[in-house]
Amino acid sequence: MRILPELVPNTPTPERTKSVMPKGPKRVPWPVLILAALILLIVGTVIYPSFQYVELPMDSRPYLVHQGEIQKFPVVVEKGEAYVPLRFIQDKLDPHVHWDESGVMVVTTRDKVVKLRTQSLTAYVNQHPVSLQFPVILDGKEPYVPASTLETLYPVSTRYSQEYGIFLVRSLDIPRTVGEIRTGTILRTKASPLARRVRMLPAGEQVVVYGDGTRWLKVETSSGLCGFVLKRHVSELRQEPPAAQQPSDYVPSPLKGDKVVLVWEQVDRITPDPSSLGEMPGLNVVSPTWFHLADIPGEVENRADMRYVNWAHSRGYQVWALFSNSFDPERTSVVLRDSALRDKVISQLLIYADVYKLDGINVDFENVYLADGPYLTQFMRELTPLLHSQGLTVSIDITVRSTSPNWSLFLERDKLAQVVDYVMLMAYDQYPHGSKVSGPVSTIPWTEWTITTTLEEVPKDKLVLGVPFYTRLWKETRENGQTTVTPRALGMEGIALWLKDENVTPEYQADTGLLYAEKKAGNVTYKVWLEDVQSMKKRIDLVNKYDLAGVAAWRRGFETPDIWEVICENLGS
């Protein structure tokens, strides 16, 4: 501690006296010396309890005390206002507080997004300007937050004690134990009668108690002094409830049915005429691919169609419009790393959601630079509270964990799951379009592995299993000792027609859990693993086995009508 009271002994130094020593020196036993030292220490404590405070240098900074601990973070005081470093907030109060490269501090809570720019007396709360009494400042390159602002951002109380050189921060959202000093006692730096004295605590002083030892208690005074006192000197220990409560969790709009049953609607340019769409029993959410990052930074391309929304709502479906990054890592990086561009994108999505009466937004960011993964998480932290404020459900699409930086490793799945309402696991493309070998879109064992792997990071009540309505017909051509493969994506009806035209009968494969068909013609071999009623039933069984939040299918139009009957009978209602 910087300002610590020290005991000042006023006892004069005893003079040495001569004595007649007997022949042969006689040593005093060590136990006697130790006992004598303890007696002198106790006597000194009783007779000389006066303290003197060490003077602080003029340029010294106050200690920062939080929850009974002196922190290793400096405090800046300007014009009577104490400022705490952003590092302390990140370390002790909010690990998700974000410092943007453009000099903006971003705090996101369950219902608010607060942005504070250095040296500015205007902050933005949910994109609305508010005035500040003191700005965020920079000390060197370190951002510092004024105490008055800290109290508005987080459930804490603060107090600056100039006398002791202490800035005290107490968390108000957790219970605490308090007590009262029964009789005057000494506050010590350690739980020992030999430890250095901090201060004499008078009877009646209120203290906060941390921990419950057998003989000693660790306490914190109202001025922020911390130390240990004998337990017998503290009375009336009592538990106090949190002074501030956490905001309640956001509850998404209820769906028709117990689980999510979503289908994506691929929209290249024009949304399909909904009057041409057939019945889809069990379905409760449609997700048209309407919004995309444009090549102009911060602009959102819009392909929405109000007729489709009206049709969906008339059927009892919710509309969670998809927002993609156009699978362009460079334009994605430009937007994610700029606070103003993130705000611009979010503002457009909020407007579109209001204009088209949407029920949710499904975020589909793929092919993202590994280094931009944390910025995607930050974008979702800023987007979600604002969408929630308009009553919208927020979901994000993810792949299973793999070794691919741009298609898997950039995703902070656990952190994203803390923010959004649902996480869609795209459990397909086990053998993608660019594969050099033929293979199924998604075997049943592999699908189960993707589920169990993802459940290590995403809770089951948020995880939605993505299933394929399509398959790939692989063409293997053998020439000059080399085999080249060419895939073609087909829906269920398309592959059934191919089997019929080629007079091929598929056979069941135990290792994949799928029907498999093959045909050879000269130096060409065709291979296909089917998606059908039986494979869909197995995927729905996995959803039920792991009690997942539901199922999402890519995409509408690739399925046969009987697929919806399977989903409805086994999952939907």
CA distance linking residue 331 with residue 322, whole number of Å:
18
163 and 275: one domain?
A: no
412 and 265: one domain?
A: yes
pLDDT digits (tens, 9 = 90+) for 375-393: 999 999 999 999 999 999 9
| Domain endpoint, select from 168, 202, 226 | 168
CA distance linking residue 247 with residue 13, whole number of Å:
63
Write down the pLDDT at residue 106.
98
In a domain, 111, yes or no: yes
Residue 317: which of 287, 276, 289, 350 has the closest Cα? 287
Burial (CB < 10 A; 0-12, 13-18, 19+), residue 133, is exposed
Say which DSSP state 429 is in. -
Q: Is the pLDDT of residue 4 over 80?
A: no
| Whole-number average pLDDT of the chain | 90
pLDDT digits (tens, 9 = 90+) for 36-85: 555 544 444 443 333 223 333 445 789 999 999 999 999 999 988 999 99
Banded pLDDT at 24 (limits 50, 70, 90): very low
> Strand 360-364 relative to strand 393-398: parallel, antiparallel, unpaired?
parallel
CATH number of the structural domain spanning residue 326? 3.20.20.80
Cβ-based neighbour number of residue 130 at 10 Å: 13
In a domain, 265, yes or no: yes
Write down the pLDDT at residue 245.
82
Q: Is the pLDDT of residue 11 over 60?
A: no
pLDDT digits (tens, 9 = 90+) for 31-41: 555 565 555 44
User: What is the mean predicted confidence (pLDDT) over 114-134?
Assistant: 96
Write down the pLDDT at residue 212.
81
Say which DSSP state 332 is in. H
328 and 452: one domain?
A: yes
Q: Which residues of 408-442 are buried (b: 16+ CB within 10 A; e: fewer)?
A: bebbbbebbbbbbbbbbbbbbbbbeeeeeebbbbb
| Domain endpoint, select from 111, 145, 168 | 168
272 and 148: one domain?
A: no
User: What is the mean predicted confidence (pLDDT) over 433-448?
Assistant: 97
CA distance linking residue 221 with residue 156, whole number of Å:
16
398 and 298: one domain?
A: yes
Q: Is the pLDDT of residue 130 over 50?
A: yes
Write down the pLDDT at residue 39.
54
Which residue has tokens 């994949």?
A: 512
Residue 346: which of 355, 336, 356, 358 has the closest Cα? 336
In a domain, 247, yes or no: no
CATH number of the structural domain spanning residue 87? 3.30.457.10
pLDDT digits (tens, 9 = 90+) for 468-515: 999 999 999 999 999 999 999 999 999 999 999 999 999 999 999 999
- Beta strand residue intervals within 351-429, DSSP E: 360-364, 393-398, 422-426
Write down the pLDDT at residue 204.
95
Percent of the chain scoring above 70 in pLDDT: 89
In a domain, 327, yes or no: yes
Give the range of the structural domain holding residue 291, as residue numbers without chain letter: 260-469+542-570
Banded pLDDT at 27 (limits 50, 70, 90): low
In a domain, 480, yes or no: no
pLDDT digits (tens, 9 = 90+) for 185-199: 999 999 999 999 999
Name the token pair of 244.
């501030």
267 and 144: one domain?
A: no
Report the number of secondary-structure helices (H) and strands (E) in the chain. 12, 36
In a domain, 315, yes or no: yes
In a domain, 336, yes or no: yes
Q: Which helix (H) or strand (E) holds 37?
A: helix 30-47
159 and 273: one domain?
A: no
Write down the pLDDT at residue 37.
54
